[in-house]
């Protein structure tokens, strides 16, 4: 435990408390991300939703997330990180409490839009805080933060599966998750954001200068990796239920295999990766993910298909933390992180519609070929990142991590 604390915790007590609370929040963020995907077979059949309507409900979250990350990156230096975080937590909790209480897909679509708005604000605040706490050239804290997200995402489907076995049904999971977020909001009220608030004041006069080619490239990487990450997470339960013929409560747990792959990769990068230029590792892992989605389309055995889902998660595990760390290191402003994060919102919006459109006409198996295409493009973008490395390999002058007064 002492080694873990010395590796990931900032030296200042208030910054350490902030990082711990961000970890707790990201864990429940991960839980909320997978409970909906795990509940899709139940939602479709109990509420009589079509694939197209289900895709619209999933995409609504993405719209909210996209708008929130883009706007939050612009206003974080004016509103302040604490107000932005607390507002997002309270708003998403209110939406989650009401989600799946009524069968109307349009009502639930609006609620999921609200969840995305709340969580997008928390995403920008968290990434910006970790960038400030990170040592120059490192991404250990960012990987560990997103490992907490994966741990929650792994846990979420088991909550759904457990509740499905009870007479109370599986939709109670949304209310339980909302209560967790409200508790986190209360605890955040006692945490100091001094480090971020002082940096925000300095950033108001700092232009978002840098390398536009790199910003575009990083956004494209986020787009394809998150499109894979959230798309497979959102539709894998339905794939195993309708195509491989597994029971709904068993299919609900499939999502966890992707997230344990993501968690494994991010923990490996947090504890064992020593370099500061992991572009080659990113290329290798993106090929692993391609092998995972390709083999999933070939498998007809549930156990073997779960291994393929695990490989999908492992292959894209390092993309998001690395991209956020690099963007923060190069641009040193929350606005850049907001722009790059918004690419994730676009991916989450596009991915459900593409899969739902194909699945509605040709079946869920055909829909998963969209993820194969995304993965091919992810490999291609990672190749471009390696080929053009001279444009961004030269790191900016190093600065010490921001210090928080005792």
Q: Is residue 8 part of a domain?
A: no
Under the banding of pLDDT at 50, 70 and 90, the label for residue 248 is confident
Number of neighbours of residue 108 by Cβ within 10 angstroms: 26
What backbone torsions phi and psi does residue 399 show, to the nearest 5 degrees? -130, 150
Range among 252-261, 266-275, 314-323, 370-379 rated most confident = 370-379
Q: Which residue has the higher pLDDT, 92 or 30?
A: 92
pTM (2 decimals)? 0.75
165 part of a folded domain? yes
What's the CATH number where 239 sits?
1.20.1250.20
pLDDT in tens, 346-369: 887 788 778 888 888 888 999 999
Res 277: pLDDT? 64
| Residue percentage of the chain with pLDDT more than 70 | 84
Tokens encoding 29? 């963020």
Residue 103, domain member (yes or no): yes
For 382-400, what is each residue's pLDDT tens digit? 999 888 876 655 544 444 4
In a domain, 263, yes or no: yes
Q: Name the domain count of the chain.
A: 1
Percent share of the chain, pLDDT over 90: 33
Cα separation of 96 and 119, whole Å? 11
Domain limits at 168? 13-391
Q: Say which residue, 78 or 24, is predicted with more confidence.
A: 24
Structural domain includes residue 7:
no
| 61: in domain | yes
| 404 within a domain of the structure (yes/no) | no
Distance between alpha carbon 107 and the CA centroid of its chain, in Å? 24
Most confident of 83-92, 261-270, 329-338: 83-92
Contacts 24+ apart (CB under 8 A), 376-379: 376/290, 377/224, 378/221, 378/224, 378/225, 378/228, 378/286, 378/289, 378/290, 378/316, 378/319, 379/283, 379/286, 379/287, 379/290
pLDDT at 178 over 90: yes
Whether 141 is in a domain gets the answer yes
5 has a pLDDT exceeding 80: no
Is the pLDDT reported for residue 326 higher than 60?
yes
């Amino acid at each position: 435990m002492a080694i873990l604390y010395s590796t990931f915790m900032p030296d200042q007590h208030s910054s350490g408390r902030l990082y711990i609370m961000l970890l707790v929040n990201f864990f429940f963020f991960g839980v909320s991300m997978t409970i909906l995907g795990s509940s899709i077979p139940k939602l479709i059949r109990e509420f009589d939703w079509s694939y197209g309507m289900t895709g619209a409900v999933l995409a609504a979250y993405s719209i909210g997330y996209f708008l929130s990350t883009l706007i939050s990156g612009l206003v974080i230096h004016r509103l302040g990180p604490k107000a932005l975080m607390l507002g997002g937590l309270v708003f998403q909790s209110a939406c989650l409490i009401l989600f799946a209480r009524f069968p109307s897909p349009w009502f639930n679509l609006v609620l999921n839009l609200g969840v995305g708005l709340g969580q997008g604000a928390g995403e920008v605040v968290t990434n910006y805080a970790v960038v400030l706490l990170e040592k120059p050239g490192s991404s250990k804290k960012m990987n560990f933060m997103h490992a907490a997200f994966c741990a929650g995402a792994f846990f979420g489907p088991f909550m759904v599966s457990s509740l499905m076995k009870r007479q109370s049904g599986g939709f109670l999971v949304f209310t339980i998750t909302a209560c967790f977020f409200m508790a986190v909001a209360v605890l955040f009220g006692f945490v100091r954001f001094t480090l971020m608030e002082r940096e925000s004041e300095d950033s108001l006069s700092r232009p978002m200068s840098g390398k536009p080619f790199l910003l575009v490239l990083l956004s494209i990487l986020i787009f394809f990796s998150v499109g894979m990450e959230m798309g497979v997470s959102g539709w894998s339960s339905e794939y195993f239920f309708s195509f491989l013929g597994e029971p709904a409560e068993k299919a609900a747990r499939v999502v966890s295999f992707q997230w344990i792959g993501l968690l494994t990769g991010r923990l490996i990068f947090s504890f064992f990766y020593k370099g500061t230029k992991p572009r080659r590792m990113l290329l290798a892992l993106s090929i692993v993910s391609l092998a995972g989605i390709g083999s999933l389309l070939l498998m007809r055995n549930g156990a073997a298909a779960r291994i393929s889902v695990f490989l999908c998660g492992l292959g894209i595990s390092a993309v998001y933390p690395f991209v956020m760390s690099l963007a923060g290191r190069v641009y040193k402003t929350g606005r850049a992180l907001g722009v790059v994060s918004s690419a994730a919102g676009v991916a989450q919006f596009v991915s459900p519609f593409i899969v739902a459109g194909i699945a509605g006409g040709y079946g869920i198996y055909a829909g998963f070929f969209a993820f194969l295409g995304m993965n091919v493009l992810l490999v291609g973008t990672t190749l471009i990142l390696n080929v053009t490395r001279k444009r961004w390999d030269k790191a900016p002058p190093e600065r010490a991590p921001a210090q928080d007064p005792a």
